[in-house]
């Protein structure tokens, strides 16, 4: 049944979305009013005719019906750029669960209209000789300001307005008078703030390989024949994927189309930008959170006005309003930063595919270790799969040693470095080659506990252990709570209160102890707080100002370091200990990508994988860089357990101020699903409800967390269940309770 009421915003800007007005949809317009459509409505006291955008539909009135006005007509100019942004927001809201306002704020990234920068210029309208004559005439009449202006314009065809006003001291009325007399014209140029500074260097154009050429042709042929598709490029770093992106985009631009290039992290912007800039020059721009508001606003304007062809940025760059979008590239598509952590918890991969389908654009996904999702879809034929094997140039895959840490301990080695790793580091220092040491920090707490009674030091506000930092402080990584490290156990007063495992700081210390001469750089969340610290550390290492780089996940991607011939992965299985169905996938990706950093410059590389679980399939396949082998084992497990991508899973997280009300709401919501199921057996068969239960982290910032999961093979079925749960919660007007939905979650709660 068609909806009866529409929410409409009159002025579509970020801050006005909080103030939608509800209107009645007249019968005759019921088919043509939907989110994104522009309508004429009577507005305000005088019922002036205004244009507004429909943002949402409903069957219930929020106010007494007699007070509502009625939509006058539908604007017939078709869907505008704003309209299609609203359509995307509406899709996000439905598909991922959130309010329409939150969805609109995600899509309309610029908060307010900012002042446009302008520049005025003055151009002569008659030939210089005539200007000179006119100038002499003016001088005779003692119109000296006019004379100055005309002399100046006789020499220069165009002059900045400000120069005439200030340097030549000409009044604006004088300039206007001269314009009226037909000597010159005054024009206003609007300027864009451009975050991309001019870059030097010309591109070294390569001759594409047959594989690269075939892929580019395929993508463009599908596009030209009106059937743009989704493509997955599976190839190790260095296999030439970026050359494919550049090739496709180049031809898209030739057809007057635009491109969005998503990269997983701001840290990778510079090097990607440099490559695109060398090919496309000023037609490329970036957008990300490090830009000022004005810069962001101007990039959106440039995109809308056709001033740029390519935008590079993290997942939010998806919402750049290009009028003729041709292709969206999602590089490193397996990265977890493509999933939004706030509502709507959208995934950039799926959203890219949706946006592309609205614009009849192509989507290219690229990865050395594709997500199970992407590979599974590719194998099912939903995406076209291209395998790009091998690297360009002389680089070869490194030799890999897997070291069993249990064995090291048995042999009496208590250091964080295995004997093999220590030996190889020493060799590298000798040879003047570089080493990268990678610490898998996910799931790692750096917690301290009492060896006498087992008491673990925890944050009083969050259900997590505190991490020890240098200087004797204990810090909560969730809420920032800090306390001084006690000398004795608060429970039993034993003095054996000790730290467990090692963090990057401790590894740096251990290196100083064991290799006093080595120059060490550290890269982790603590050393990269400021805007360009990533770039500084990485370029210092690239310039060989250090022998060893120690770091967390952030060092495994980006930047080529030709002099790195050794990579040590200190505790490969830390991420396996998470109680999470993606733990194996994450471990495989991290170890494979870290190992791939060795021997990129022609010199052979070696990799040491230290682990407590050398027999785990994700470690075994990563050591062999064998994606296929890993995929087969992992997908079997997912299939058996009905986990994504084989089935779909909706996580519902309830956050509450008091524990009981959260628990209770969870129970009511799961009962509701069960009730639907028993009344509607056919549709709901195989809907599986798990929970409710306390979340693994049961408290953050003094807010209690409960969670339940719903699994089903069909995503849309879960969307419908979410709709039921959403309206149930809306009716109950929850107080001090927050309900969040997360489809196919990246982390379990």
Q: Which residues bind ligand ADP (CB under 6 A)?
A: 206-209, 212, 235, 237-243, 392
Instruction: State phi, psi for 284 to the nearest 5 degrees.
Output: -110, 140
> How many other C-beta atoms can be found within 10 angstroms of the C-beta atom of residue 448?
21
SS3 label, residue 347: strand
State which residue, 149 or 747, has the beta carbon closest to Zn ion: 747
- Three-state SS for 362? strand
CB of 195 to ligand ADP, least distance (A): 23
Helix (H) or strand (E) holding 159: strand 158-160
Q: Compute the distance between CA of residue 326 and CA of residue 66 in angstroms, rounded to an integer.
A: 47
Chosen residue from 118, 491, 532, 560 binding Zn ion by CB under 5 A: 491
Q: How many helices (DSSP H) and strands (DSSP E) are in the chain?
A: 22, 31
What does 240 interact with, of Zn ion, ligand ADP, none (CB < 5 to 8 A by kind)? Answer: ligand ADP
Among the candidate windows 287-295, 374-382, 420-428, 452-460, which touches Zn ion by CB under 5 A? 452-460
Nearer to ligand ADP, 241 or 301 (CB): 241
- Could you tell me which of 115, 92, 117, 100 has the C-alpha nearest to residue 319? 92
From the list ligand ADP, Zn ion, none, partner contacted by residue 206 (C-beta under 5 to 8 A by kind): ligand ADP
First to last CA, the chain: 37
Q: Which is nearer to ligand ADP, 274 or 668 (CB)?
A: 274
Q: Cβ of residue 476: shortest distance to Zn ion, in angstroms?
A: 3
* Interface residue with Zn ion, options 453, 641, 690, 724 (CB under 5 A): 453
Q: Which stretch binds Zn ion (CB under 5 A): 74-82, 384-392, 430-438, 444-452?
A: 444-452
494 touches Zn ion by CB under 5 A: yes
Q: Of ligand ADP, Zn ion, none, which one does residue 479 interact with (CB within 5 to 8 Å by kind)?
A: Zn ion
Nearest distance in Å: CB 442, Zn ion: 18
Contact 271/331 with Cβ under 8 angstroms? no
**Vertex 60: Cα angle to 56 and 65 (nearest 5):** 110
Question: Which residue from 596, 527, 593 is spatially nearest to 536, judged by alpha carbons?
Answer: 527
Q: Which of 429, 479, 518, 672 binds Zn ion (CB under 5 A)?
A: 479
Distance CA 644, CA 635 (A): 9
* Closer by beta carbon to ligand ADP, 418 or else 593: 593
Peptide bond into 191 cis (omega under 30): no
> In the bound complex, what is the minimum distance in angstroms from residue 487's beta carbon to Zn ion?
12
Among 481, 637, 684, 728, binds Zn ion (CB under 5 A): 481
User: How many angstroms separate the CA atoms of 627 and 245, rounded?
Assistant: 22
Q: Is the peptide bond before 409 cis (omega within 30 degrees of 0)?
A: no
Does 448 engage in binding with Zn ion (CB under 5 A)? no
Task: Identify which of residues 208 and 542 has a Cβ nearer to ligand ADP in the complex.
Answer: 208
Q: Which does 212 bind (CB under 5 to 8 A by kind): ligand ADP, Zn ion, none?
A: ligand ADP
Cα–Cα distance, 269 to 272 (Å, whole number):
5
Applying CB under 5 A, the span of 178-186, 203-211, 488-496, 715-723 interacting with Zn ion comes to: 488-496
243/350 with CB nearer ligand ADP: 243
Which range of residues in 101-109, 313-321, 492-500, 581-589 is near Zn ion by CB under 5 A? 492-500
For Zn ion, give the closer residue by CB, 312 or 459: 459
Question: Interface with Zn ion includes 267 (CB under 5 A)?
Answer: no
Work out what residue 239 binds among ligand ADP, Zn ion, none; the CB cut-off runs from 5 to 8 Å by kind.
ligand ADP
What the block records as the tokens of 14 is 């970020």
Q: Which of 175, 489, 537, 695 is in the footprint of Zn ion by CB under 5 A?
A: 489
Binds 447: which of ligand ADP, Zn ion, none (CB < 5-8 Å by kind): none
Comparing CB distances to Zn ion, the nearer of 158 and 492 is 492
Taking a C-beta distance cutoff of 8 angstroms, is the pair 203, 278 a contact?
Answer: yes
Among 478, 500, 637, 728, binds Zn ion (CB under 5 A): 478
Nearer to ligand ADP, 194 or 209 (CB): 209
Gyration radius of the chain over CA positions: 31
Helix (H, G, I), strand (E, B) or coil at 464: coil
| 208 vs 668, beta carbon nearer ligand ADP | 208
Instruction: Output 95 or 239, the one with its CB closest to ligand ADP.
Output: 239
The Cα 707–Cα 749 span in angstroms is 7
Q: How far is the CB of 120 from ligand ADP (least distance, A)?
A: 44
CB 134: neighbour CB atoms within 10 A? 20
Residue 259: its H or E element = strand 258-262
Judged by CB under 5 A, how many residues of this single chain contact Zn ion? 15
Nearer Cβ to ligand ADP (121/279): 279
Using CA atoms, how far residue 22 sits from 47, 70, 74, 541, in Å, is: 14, 9, 15, 58
Where is 652: in which H helix or E strand? strand 648-656
Using DSSP's 3-state secondary structure scheme, residue 261 falls into strand
Cβ atoms of 549 and 556 closer than 8 Å: no
d(CA 307, CA 293): 18
638 interface partner picked from Zn ion, ligand ADP, none, CB below 5 to 8 A per type? none
Q: Which does 392 bind (CB under 5 to 8 A by kind): ligand ADP, Zn ion, none?
A: ligand ADP
DSSP string over 90-105: HHHIIIII--HHHHHH
- Closest contact distance (angstroms) between CB of 438 and ligand ADP is 19
Query: Which residues in this chain contact Zn ion in the complex, by CB under 5 A?
Result: 450, 452-453, 455, 459, 461-462, 476, 478-479, 481, 489, 491-492, 494
């Amino acid at each position: 049944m068609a909806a009866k009421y529409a929410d409409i915003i009159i002025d579509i800007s970020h801050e006005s979305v909080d103030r939608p007005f509800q209107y009645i949809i007249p019968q005759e317009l019921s088919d043509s009013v939907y989110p994104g459509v522009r309508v004429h409505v009577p507005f305000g006291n005088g019922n002036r005719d205004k244009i507004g955008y429909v943002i949402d539909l409903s069957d219930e009135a929020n106010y007494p019906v007699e007070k509502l006005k009625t939509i006058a007509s539908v604007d017939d100019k078709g869907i505008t750029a704003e309209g299609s942004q609203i359509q995307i927001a509406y899709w996000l809201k439905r598909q991922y669960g959130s309010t329409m306002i939150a969805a609109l704020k995600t899509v309309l990234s610029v908060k307010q209209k900012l002042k446009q920068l302008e520049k005025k210029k003055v151009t002569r309208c008659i030939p210089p000789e005539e200007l000179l004559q006119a100038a002499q005439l003016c001088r005779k009449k003692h119109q000296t300001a006019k004379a100055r202006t005309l002399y100046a314009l006789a020499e220069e065809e165009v002059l900045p307005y400000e120069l005439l006003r200030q340097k030549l001291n000409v009044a604006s009325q004088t300039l206007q008078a001269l314009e009226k007399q037909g000597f010159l014209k005054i024009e206003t140029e609007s300027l864009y703030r451009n975050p991309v500074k001019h870059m030097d260097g010309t591109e070294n154009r390569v001759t594409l390989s047959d594989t690269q050429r075939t892929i580019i042709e395929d993508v463009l042929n599908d596009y030209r024949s009106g059937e743009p598709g989704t493509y997955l490029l599976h190839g190790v770093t260095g296999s030439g994927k970026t050359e494919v992106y550049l090739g496709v985009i180049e031809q898209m631009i030739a057809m007057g189309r635009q491109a969005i290039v998503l990269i997983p992290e701001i840290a990778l912007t510079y090097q990607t930008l440099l490559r695109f800039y060398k090919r496309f020059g000023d037609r490329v721009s970036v957008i990300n959170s490090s830009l000022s508001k004005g810069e962001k606003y101007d990039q959106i304007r440039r995109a809308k006005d056709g001033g740029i062809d390519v935008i590079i940025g993290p997942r939010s760059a998806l919402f750049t309003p290009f009028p003729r979008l041709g292709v969206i590239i999602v590089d490193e598509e397996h990265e977890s930063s493509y999933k939004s952590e706030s509502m709507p918890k959208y995934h950039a991969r799926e959203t890219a595919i949706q946006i592309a389908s609205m614009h009849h654009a192509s989507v290219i996904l690229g990865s050395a270790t594709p997500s199970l999702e992407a590979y599974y879809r590719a194998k099912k034929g939903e995406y076209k799969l291209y395998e790009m094997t091998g690297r360009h140039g002389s680089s070869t895959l490194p030799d890999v040693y897997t070291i069993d840490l249990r064995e090291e301990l048995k042999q009496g080695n208590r250091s964080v470095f295995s004997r093999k790793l220590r030996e190889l580091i020493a060799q590298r220092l000798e040879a003047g080659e570089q080493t990268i040491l990678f610490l898998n920090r996910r799931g790692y707490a750096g917690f301290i506990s009492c060896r006498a009674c087992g008491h673990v030091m925890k944050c009083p506000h969050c259900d997590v252990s505190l991490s020890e930092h240098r200087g004797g402080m204990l810090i909560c990584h969730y809420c920032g709570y800090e306390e001084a490290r006690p000398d004795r156990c608060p429970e039993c007063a034993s003095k054996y209160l000790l730290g467990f495992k090692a963090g990057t700081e401790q590894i740096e210390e251990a290196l100083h102890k064991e290799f006093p001469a080595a120059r060490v750089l550290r890269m982790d969340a603590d050393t990269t707080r400021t805007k360009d610290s990533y770039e500084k550390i990485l370029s210092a290492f690239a310039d060989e100002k250090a022998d060893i780089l120690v770091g967390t996940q952030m060092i495994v991607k980006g930047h080529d370091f030709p002099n790195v011939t050794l990579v040590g992965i200190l505790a490969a299985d830390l991420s396996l200990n998470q109680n999470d169905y993606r733990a194996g996938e994450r471990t495989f990706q991290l170890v494979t990508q870290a190992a791939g950093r060795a021997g990129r410059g022609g010199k052979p590389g070696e990799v040491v994988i230290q682990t407590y679980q050398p027999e785990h399939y994700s470690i075994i396949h990563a050591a062999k860089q064998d994606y296929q082998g890993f995929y087969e084992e992992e997908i079997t497990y997912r299939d058996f357990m009905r986990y994504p991508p084989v089935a779909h899973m909706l996580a519902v997280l309830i956050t509450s101020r008091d524990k009981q009300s959260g628990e209770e709401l969870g129970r009511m919501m799961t009962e509701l699903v069960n009730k639907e199921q028993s009344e509607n057996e056919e549709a709901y068969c195989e809907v599986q409800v798990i929970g409710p239960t306390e979340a693994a982290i049961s408290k953050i910032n003094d807010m209690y967390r409960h969670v339940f999961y719903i699994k089903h093979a069909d995503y849309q079925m879960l969307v419908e269940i979410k709709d039921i749960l959403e309206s149930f919660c809306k009716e109950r007007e929850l107080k001090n309770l927050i309900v969040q939905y997360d489809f196919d979650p990246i982390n379990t709660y």
